[in-house]
């Protein structure tokens, strides 16, 4: 891995064994020459740069031809220099009407990457900073690039500085801009809704702008800050794909624009809708980081790169390297209706089963008998829990379990003591009616006293009780936001996100051994920003195994499944009434961070808990660090299949799941992936011994099942 500057031709070359990112200073600004496979660079490479002379736009001295900026591949695009594509940066200083000429003025190479203050970002890597300035206005920009030895990604972010004497207003401050040659690409991204997150959509891009975004103050169920641009014909296993993911958890926007010269621009970052940030004299503004990933092994290769990167450079390593705690969660076991006895019975049943933690979900605090009240009053409801949390903690200890708890720190109910005391702490827009959603309001964490209060309340809760695990929920979007006293309301959404990150940073630093599970009404905040703090994220409120095949398949495009949690719940399923077999529920839950969520004190299905925890630990030894290969796409085939192979290629698990029975089904060959061709493997459940090349080229014969929602989880181990 290295970052080189070739002085004569003003070229920066960031590379590792597999990829190159090549930037050339051209027309005074950084332009992309190449991002993809590792290449050799010499001076003549610059001659490959597109130039498009236009005669009607003359230079000042009238000398044609003038090279159009509409065709060059700009790394930080401003408006006003004859490039009419949408820029990645838009700034008002009251004078220049958004026309800035950010020109190159130097660089710095850092052996160790700088952290982005107040925000999550990747750890490790070697960095390049390219400095730009607009001489007249005093606007400065630093483009940051980080490259990794063992991963095909470049991380990018921008730092802006106001070096003038007066205020400037950032109207758009995106994290990256990348221009690609031509426009023969597909764009692939995720969309969804509550309980149906992570649906995959692919479109052929065309002239104009396509934007995926969230305006919700979260990344949301509706969209996700991930997009892949792929050459036509790229598929799961082959073809060039560039994937982009923002390390950000708030409102975002990512756009693909094709202009009339058939050039493609990909740009994105904090959503610029309603965004306006006042940058006072001498102040700096840092954008969230964008991860740009390259794969020449199609979408599968791209996903494996993202997974490896996040497991090694994003998620906190002490949790990532350790086995996941297996939980029994009280939500679908009891909802709001419990008392000491009911919980004790569940805890006792979990004793000696391999379950590690009892997680007390919603309903444990003062007066919380439904979702209509009490958020903000983080004291135990002693009507339900006569011996307080301490009684439950003691019971857990007696049974060899640890204790975990559900909190929703960002929220406040109108019917709460906190609201009665501090009505002004809730976000409300005086001009809009009905600000509630799920009967709750959002705390205005941008106010220092509110953030301090919630830090203390959470700190006290964790300090005074032996809590090993926290499920951090967030059950509504931000809407109609208005923070009283905030001078520039356009700053609100990002300030809110910074406050959430400050709270996350405080709690994870103050309580370093506590495992945090992120959640936002299920998968409303599944993103790399949250993964930086929370090693686990609840993938969806749909706990139905059949729904989860799609949801997990979709998330796996960008996020490692081992950090997405899934539980065995009861049937009929609480969300959709579907009945799926118990072994299917296990298999699908075992794709990620595993647990149980049904009343195990009163169910025959609880007899199998010990078998499942044992089996999960075996599966986890492969899935935690393994490589994922998607084999059958439930969005296309109705069936789901993937395999995860350990890094040594000595062991793999293969999931084969069939949704509905049909007599039209016939046996088919499933070609496996990721094995070593020369190794002999045993397919344990089938009693077969076959070489890797046979398994990958001829495949296993899969016979249809004769009941709905059947799953098979096959273990494949090396014989020699």
Residues 416/375, Cβ–Cβ less than 8 Å = yes
Query: Which of 336, 326, 343 has its CA nearest to residue 601?
Result: 343
Residue 328 near residue 342, CB atoms below 8 Å: no
Nearest approach in angstroms of CB 601 to ligand GLA is: 20
Q: Residue 281 or residue 370: which is nearer to ligand GLA going by CB?
A: 370
Residue placing its CB nearer to ligand GLA in the complex, 227 or 405: 405
> At its nearest, how many Å lie between ligand GLA and the CB of residue 474?
9
- By beta-carbon proximity to ligand GLA, the closer residue of 155 and 343 is 343
Give whichever of 362 and 639 is closer to ligand GLA, judged by the CB atom: 362
Nearer to ligand GLA, 168 or 536 (CB): 536
- Distance, CA of 557 to CA of 306 (rounded, Å): 8
For residues 549 and 543, give the distance between their C-alpha atoms in angstroms, rounded to a whole number: 10
Tokens of 322: 């350790």
295, 243 Cβ separation under 8 angstroms: yes
Of 541, 547, 587, 599, catalytic: 541
Tell how strand 208-213 and strand 277-279 pair up. unpaired
| Residue 371 or 505 with smaller CB distance to ligand GLA | 371
The DSSP code for 626 is: P
Nearest partner of 175 among 118, 225, 111, judged by Cα? 225
CA pair distance 384, 368, nearest whole angstrom: 10
Q: Which two tokens stand for residue 496?
A: 């809110």
Whether the CB-CB separation of 718 and 649 falls below 8 Å is answered with yes
Active site residue 337: no
What's the rounded Cα separation, in Å, for the pair 590 and 580? 15
Cβ at position 353, least distance to ligand GLA in Å: 22
| The two structure tokens encoding residue 313 | 């450079």
Question: Using CA atoms, how far apart are residues 541 and 195, in angstroms rounded to an integer?
Answer: 5
Q: How far is the CB of 718 from ligand GLA (least distance, A)?
A: 39
Rounded to an integer, what distance in angstroms lies between the CA atom of residue 534 and that of residue 518? 6
Q: Please pick, among 473, 547, 587, 599, the residue that the annotation labels catalytic.
A: 473
Length of the chain: 720
Residue 368 Cβ vs ligand GLA, minimum distance, rounded to whole Å = 9
331 or 640: whose CB is closer to ligand GLA?
331
Rounded to whole angstroms, the Cα distance separating 524 from 382 reads 31
Say which residue the tokens 């006042």 belong to: 278
Distance from C-alpha of 248 to C-alpha of 225, rounded to nearest angstrom: 8
| Binding-site ranges for ligand GLA (CB under 6 A) | 331, 361-362, 406, 473, 475, 519, 521-522, 538, 541
Whole-number minimum distance, CB 471 to ligand GLA, in Å? Answer: 6
> Measured between alpha carbons, how far is 668 from 454 in angstroms, rounded to an integer?
56
Number of helices (H) and strands (E) in the chain: give both, helices first: 14, 40
Q: Which residue is nearest to ligand GLA (CB)?
A: 362
Least Å from the CB of residue 350 to ligand GLA: 18
CB of 534 to ligand GLA, least distance (A): 14
- What lies within 8 Å, CB to CB, of 604 at 6+ separation is none
> By C-beta, is 563 or 646 nearer to ligand GLA?
563
Least distance in angstroms from the C-beta of 158 to ligand GLA: 34
Measured between alpha carbons, how far is 691 from 672 in angstroms, rounded to an integer?
Answer: 11
The candidate with the shortest Cα–Cα distance to 474, out of 449, 508, 499, is: 499
Helices of type H across 592-697? 609-623, 634-637, 692-697
> Can you tell me which residue has the tokens 């890094």?
647
Q: Which residues of 608-621 are buried (b: 16+ CB within 10 A; e: fewer)?
A: ebeebbebbeebbe
Count of alpha carbons within 13 angstroms of residue 43, beta-carbon side: 3
Contact 264, 86 (CB under 8 A): no
> Do the Cβ atoms of 565 and 592 come closer than 8 Å?
yes
CA angle 574, 576, 577 (to 5 degrees): 70
To ligand GLA, the closest distance from the beta carbon of 318 in angstroms equals: 25
Which residues, including other chains, have CB under 8 Å from residue 210's CB and lie 6 or more apart? Answer: 187, 203, 255, 256, 257
The reply to whether 473 belongs to the active site is yes
Write down the least CB distance from residue 455 to ligand GLA, Å: 22
Decide whether 331 or 533 has the Cβ nearer to ligand GLA: 331
Q: Which is nearer to ligand GLA, 490 or 518 (CB)?
A: 518
Q: Which residues are catalytic?
A: 473, 541
């Amino acid at each position: 891995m290295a970052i080189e500057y070739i002085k004569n031709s003003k070229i920066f070359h960031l590379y590792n064994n597999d990829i190159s990112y090549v930037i050339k200073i051209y027309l005074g600004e950084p332009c992309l020459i190449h991002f993809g496979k590792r290449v050799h660079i010499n001076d003549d490479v610059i001659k490959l740069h597109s130039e498009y002379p236009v005669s009607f736009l003359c230079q000042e001295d009238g000398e044609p031809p003038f090279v159009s900026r509409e065709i060059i591949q700009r790394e930080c695009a401003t408006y006003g220099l004859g490039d009419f594509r949408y820029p990645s940066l838009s700034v008002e200083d009251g004078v220049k009407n958004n026309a800035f000429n950010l020109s190159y003025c130097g660089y710095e190479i850092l052996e160790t990457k700088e952290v982005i203050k107040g925000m999550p970002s990747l750890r490790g890597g070697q960095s390049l900073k390219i400095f730009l300035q607009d001489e007249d206005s005093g606007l400065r920009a630093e483009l940051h690039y980080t490259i990794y030895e063992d991963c095909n990604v470049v991380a990018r972010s921008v730092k802006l500085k106001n070096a003038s004497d007066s205020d400037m207003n950032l109207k758009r401050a995106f994290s990256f801009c990348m221009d690609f040659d031509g426009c023969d690409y597909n764009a692939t991204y995720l969309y969804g809704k509550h309980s149906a997150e992570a649906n995959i959509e692919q479109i052929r891009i065309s002239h104009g702008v396509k934007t995926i975004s969230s305006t919700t103050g979260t990344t949301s169920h509706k969209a996700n800050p991930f997009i892949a641009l792929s050459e036509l014909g790229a598929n799961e296993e082959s073809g060039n794909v560039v994937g982009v993911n923002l390390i950000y958890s708030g409102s975002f926007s990512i756009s693909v624009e094709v202009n009339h010269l058939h050039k493609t621009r990909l740009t994105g970052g904090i959503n610029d809708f309603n965004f306006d940030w006042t940058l006072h004299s001498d102040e700096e503004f840092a954008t969230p980081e964008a991860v740009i990933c390259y794969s020449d092994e199609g979408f599968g290769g791209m996903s494996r790169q993202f997974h490896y990167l996040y497991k090694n450079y994003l998620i906190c390593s002490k949790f990532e390297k350790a086995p996941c705690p297996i939980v029994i969660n009280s939500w679908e076991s009891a909802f709001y209706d419990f008392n000491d006895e009911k919980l004790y019975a569940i805890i006792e049943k979990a004793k000696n089963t391999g379950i590690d933690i009892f997680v007390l979900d919603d309903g444990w605090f003062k007066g919380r008998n439904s979702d209509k009240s009490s958020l903000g009053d983080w004291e135990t409801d002693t009507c339900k829990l006569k011996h307080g949390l301490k009684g439950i903690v003691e019971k857990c200890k007696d049974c060899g379990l640890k204790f975990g708890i559900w909190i929703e720190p960002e929220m406040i109910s109108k019917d709460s003591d906190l609201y009665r005391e501090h009505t002004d702490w809730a976000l409300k827009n005086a001009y809009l009616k009905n600000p509630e959603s799920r009967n709750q309001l959002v705390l205005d964490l941008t106010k220092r006293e509110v953030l301090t209060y919630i830090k203390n309340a959470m700190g006290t809760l964790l300090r005074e009780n032996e809590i090993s695990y926290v499920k951090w929920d967030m059950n509504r979007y931000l809407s109609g936001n208005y923070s009283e006293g905030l001078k520039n309301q356009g700053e609100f959404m990002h300030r809110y996100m910074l406050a959430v990150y400050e709270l996350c940073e405080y709690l994870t630093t103050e309580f370093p051994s506590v495992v945090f599970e992120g959640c936002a009404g299920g998968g409303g905040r599944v993103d790399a920003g949250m993964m930086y703090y929370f090693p686990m994220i609840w993938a969806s409120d749909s706990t139905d195994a059949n729904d989860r095949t799609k949801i997990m398949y979709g998330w796996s495009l960008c996020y490692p499944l081992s950090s997405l949690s899934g539980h065995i719940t009861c049937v009929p399923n609480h969300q959709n009434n579907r009945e799926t077999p118990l072994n299917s529920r296990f298999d699908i839950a075992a794709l990620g961070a595993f647990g149980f969520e049904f009343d195990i004190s009163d169910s025959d299905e609880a007899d199998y808990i010990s078998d499942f925890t044992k089996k999960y630990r075996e599966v986890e030894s492969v899935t935690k660090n393994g490589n994922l290969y998607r084999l059958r796409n439930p969005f296309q085939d109705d069936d789901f299949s993937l395999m995860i192979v350990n890094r040594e290629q000595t062991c793999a698990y293969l999931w084969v799941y069939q949704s509905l029975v049909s007599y039209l089904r016939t046996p088919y060959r499933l070609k496996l992936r990721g094995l070593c061709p020369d190794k002999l493997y045993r397919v344990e459940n089938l009693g077969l011994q076959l070489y890797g090349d046979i398994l990958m080229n001829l495949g296993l014969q899969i016979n249809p099942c004769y009941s709905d929602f059947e799953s098979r989880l096959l273990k494949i181990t090396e014989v020699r």
